[in-house]
Amino acid sequence: MKIFLETKRFILREIIPADVDGLFELDSDPAVHRFLGKNPVSDKSQIVEAIHLIRKQYIDNGIGRWAIISKDKNEFIGWSGLKLVTDITNNHKNYYDLGYRLIKKYWGKGIATETALASLKYAFNELNAAEVFAMADCENIASNKILKKVGFHFIEIFDLDGIEHNWYRIDRNKFENKKSNT
Ligand SMILES: CC(C)(COP(=O)(O)OP(=O)(O)OC[C@H]1O[C@@H](n2cnc3c(N)ncnc32)[C@H](O)[C@@H]1OP(=O)(O)O)[C@@H](O)C(=O)NCCC(=O)NCCS
C-alpha cells in the first residue's frame, strides 16, 4: 500500500478497498454532504464503485484523493488531496483540484488544514504543478476559511448546479511566498 505523504499527525496513503466502511460512514452522513449536493450515499455498493474509480484515477492520471490515517490510533479519518479534473468545471479542464472530506467526529481539529498544506506541497514539489484550483460552496464557512488559510486566492463566484460557489487558485510563487510568511 503506497504512502504518499506524512504530516505531523497523519499518513496520507492510497485509498484501498478495505476503506469501504470508513468511507461509508463518511459519505452516508447528511451533515458531511450539506455543501456537497445534499445527496449522501445509502448503499455500500456506491462506495465500492467510488473506490474503484479513485483507484483507476491513480493509474490513469497518476494522482487521486488520499486516505487520511491517524498515526497515533491508525484510524481512518476521511480523505484529502489532489484530483486531476478532466471534465469542464467553471470553464476549466485538466487541472489539479484540492479537496478534503472528514468523518464528522474529526471536524474542528485542524486536520483539513494540515493535510491540505501537505497536499499543496506535493502538487508543487512532486507533481511540478504550475497551479492548483479549488472550490467551495459560498456558505461552507470552514472550507472557505481553510482555502484562504493555506494560500489560495479567491478568483470569482460561479454557478455549480444552481448553487453559488467560490473559485480559488494558487500557483507556485504564491505558495512559496505564503510558506515564507508563516
Ligand atoms: C470542511 C471540513 C473538511 C473542515 O475540516 P476541519 O478539519 O474541521 O477544518 P479545520 O479544523 O482545519 O478548520 C479550519 C477553520 O474552519 C473553522 N471551522 C471549522 N468548522 C467550522 C464551522 N462549521 N463553521 C465555521 N467555522 C468552522 C475552524 O475554526 C478553522 O478556523 P481557524 O483556522 O480560524 O481556527 C469538514 O468540516 C468536512 O469534512 N466537511 C464536510 C465535507 C466538506 O464540506 N468538504 C469541503 C468541500 S469544499
pLDDT tens by residue, 72-126: 999 999 999 999 999 999 999 999 999 999 999 999 999 999 999 999 999 999 9
Task: Give the cell for residue 34.
Answer: 450539506
Q: How confident is the model at residue 2 (pLDDT cuts 50, 70, 90)?
A: very high
Which of 5-14, 72-81, 173-182 bottoms out in mean pLDDT, i.e. has the lowest? 173-182
pLDDT at 180 over 70: no
Helix/strand/coil percent split, the chain, to 5: 35, 30, 30
pLDDT at 111: 98
Q: Using CA atoms, how far apart are residues 174 and 108, in angstroms rounded to an integer?
A: 26
For the Cβ of 102 lying below 6 angstroms from any atom of ligand 1, the answer is yes
pTM above 0.85, yes or no: yes
Contact call for residues 141 and 178 (beta carbons, < 8 A): no
Pairing status of strand 153-160 against strand 163-171: antiparallel
Q: Which of 145, 147, 150 to mutate to test the pocket of ligand 1 (most atoms within 8 A of CB)?
A: 145
Q: Is 25 exposed, middle or buried (0-12, 13-18, 19+ CB in 10 A)?
A: middle
Q: Using CA atoms, how far apart are residues 145 and 138, in angstroms rounded to an integer?
A: 11
Atom 12 (ligand 1) nearest CA: 110
Q: Which of 36, 77, 143 to mutate to test the pocket of ligand 1 (most atoms within 8 A of CB)?
A: 143
pLDDT at 181: 62
Q: Using CA atoms, how far apart are residues 70 and 18, in angstroms rounded to an integer?
A: 16
Contact call for residues 136 and 129 (beta carbons, < 8 A): no
Can you name the residues that pair with 85 across neighbouring β-strands? 95
Above pLDDT 70, what percent of the chain? 98
Distance 142 CA to ligand 1 centre (A): 3
For the Cβ of 148 lying below 6 angstroms from any atom of ligand 1, the answer is no
